[in-house]
Structure 1
Amino acid sequence: MEWFPDRESLRGRVAVVDGASRGAGRGIAAALGEAGATVICTGRSSRAGNETSDYDRPETIEETAELVSDLGGTGIAIQVDHLDHGQVQRLADRIRAEHGRIDVLVNDIWGAEWLKGGPAEWNTPIWEHDLDRGLRILRLGIDTHLITSHHLLPLMIGEPGGLLVEMTDGTTDHNASNYRISVFYDLVKVAVNRLAFSQGHELARYGATAVALTPGWLRSEMMLDNFGVTESTWRQALEPDRRDGLPTAPPPFEASESPRYVGRAVAALAADPHRARWNQQSVTSADLAREYGFTDLDGRRPDSWNAG
């Protein structure tokens, strides 16, 4: 049965999605917009051009904010480097002055996709791994989350019902028994799951909820470019003997998901009056799709973590 978002379920709610320029962050902002939320989209990639992310990519927070508004929400773009304490404090001050609170905070800051390298560089032992790159991965993947929560969570705890979503790669259970790419990448993704647990402990007394959320194989802009496809043509990546020497995606790509899918997971959590039952848990977009009944843009409910 075809599924449609409830365009009013988050009307009047104020959400902050950091790392909203692209990938999961853009998908989450868009899905919150589908549900009518006011979404503050932050990140370094801006049309202002006075700061740059670690990626040489064309996407910007302004494009994401416009998408939010086009989908029925209110999109607001604010350029922020989430490693800069002063910039994040100024973000908090502006939100306090203009909105008075935050109902949903999504810590989706990453920015280290290129630093982690491609498959040929995976499994490089720590003594051979470039130390500066490794420490930069930690800064981008952990410090940014801590700095952001420190400054923004005070805007969430004034009234019960707030939601903090920590975006990661892999659930707590999966990462506990699987080595992930390198010591540095592995540490970041385990740590972010734990951040949801520990912050959930601290937020519970204020009636707020913290959840760690992982997408499956995400069809981000970078992933689509890697296979020479678009969101509307992504299945072509699975075809053998592709034109112009383009790579063929491995069979598990069949279970990949658009960024909107994990976004709808966040929107479903935010709209659930009983969301506190998820506090401190680690879940996938597919877990929440089964619980709440939403689908991806194409009507599917992919689950790449259990695709075999």
Structure 2
Amino acid sequence: MSGPLEGRVALVAGATRGAGRGIAVELGAAGATVYVTGRSTRAQRSEYDRPETIEDTADLVTEAGGQGIAVPADHLDPSAVRRLVDRIADEQGRLDVLVNDIWGGEHLFAWDTPVWEHDLDKGLRLLRLGVETHAVTSHHALPLLLRHPGGLVVEVTDGTAEYNRDTYRVNFFYDLAKTSVLRMAFALGHELGPRGATAVALTPGWMRSELMLDAYGVREENWRDALRREPHFAISETPRFTGRAVAALAADPDVARFNGRSLSSGGLAREYGFTDLDGSRPDAWRYLVEVQDAGKPADVTGYR
């Protein structure tokens, strides 16, 4: 049986691990051909020095039912991104979904450190990785996406527009990067909407990425052991939950109603009716406001 995205072509930029991998796999499960990019390959690791690779992600896409194609790319290199898009055009003749999930800043920011005390080189590198990469990729990929009507661009960030408007996010550089991506989706909505395409910003909730699981010393199979250290981690979600949000958006013939908007995985789960892998629907951003930030004891009742 063919999936709802059979015949569709997606590029998930920044798909080595985390949300990017979860998105790529779920697009594959819906039948799409998915190009996955990143700097960590089986031949060479990025400065993260982690084991996850884009080839592994591509294999997972294919195992899920799609076609995964791994292409090493540094999205700060315009020529590399141009070659990537040219390859997609030559091999597929179209691009239906662009997911800008490039990040790479986990090791570059310091919590609650003012800008004048923060390492400047690391802060500026974070902005390049988290903002400039998205602009470079959109510049080169959008002409191909616009060849056919109905294209979708998903800008992945951390935090909804409402939450980030009222909340200081970690430090100057992190706050600026994540808020900039929200604004990118708004601007792209204005530029793409009249041309038959849709752009949205999408945030996961508290995501159980490979890095987050390692930080708590747990695996996906025993992630609840981390609650002894951080009870609010009970609201967390898998990267596949965000992936299901993107797959639902890509399959929605009326997705243009969201053009330019800020969305969350939990909000889209209510909209489309999908669940996380365990059958729950974690609504992290409502939980953060109403429980965690409000200083209440951890209790996910009514939030997943």
TM-score, normalising length: structure 1:
0.92
Aligned with 2:90 (options 83, 97, 100): 97
Q: Distance in 2 between matches of 1:235 and 1:169?
A: 23
- Where 1:113 maps in the other structure, the secondary structure is coil
Equivalence map 1:135-174=2 (5 Å): 135-174=124-163
Contact 1:180 1:186 in 2 (8 A): yes
- 1:19 partner amino acid: G
- Where 1:174 maps in the other structure, the secondary structure is helix
- Overall identity of the aligned pairs, in %: 64
- 1:112 partner amino acid: G
Partner residue, 1:228: 217
Equivalence map 1:194-233=2 (5 Å): 194-233=183-222
Q: Provide structure 1 residue ranges, at least 5 long, that are not aligned to the other structure.
A: 1-5, 240-247
Give the CA RMSD over aligned residues.
1.0
- 1:23 partner amino acid: G
2:272 is the counterpart of 1:272: no
CA shift at 1:7, angstroms? 5.8
Equivalence map 1:1-308=2 (5 Å): 8-49=3-44, 52-116=45-109, 121-239=110-228, 248=229, 250-307=230-287, 308=291
CA shift at 1:122, angstroms? 1.1
Contact 1:252 1:304 in 2 (8 A): no
Q: Distance in 2 between matches of 1:148 and 1:235?
A: 37
Contact 1:7 1:72 in 2 (8 A): no
Q: Distance in 2 between matches of 1:96 and 1:158?
A: 10
- 1:304 partner amino acid: A
> Residues 148-205 of structure 1: CA distance to partner in whole angstroms, max 9, x if unpaired?
0000011111111000000000011111111111111000011000000001110012
Q: Size of the alignment, in residue pairs?
A: 288
CA shift at 1:54, angstroms? 3.1
- Where 2:186 maps in the other structure, the secondary structure is helix
TM-score, normalising length: structure 2:
0.93
CA shift at 1:53, angstroms? 2.4
- 2:50 partner amino acid: R
Where do 4+ consecutive residues of structure 1 move more than 4 Å? none
Q: Provide structure 2 residue ranges, at least 5 long, that are not aligned to the other structure.
A: 292-304
Q: Distance in 1 between matches of 2:2 and 2:239?
A: 18
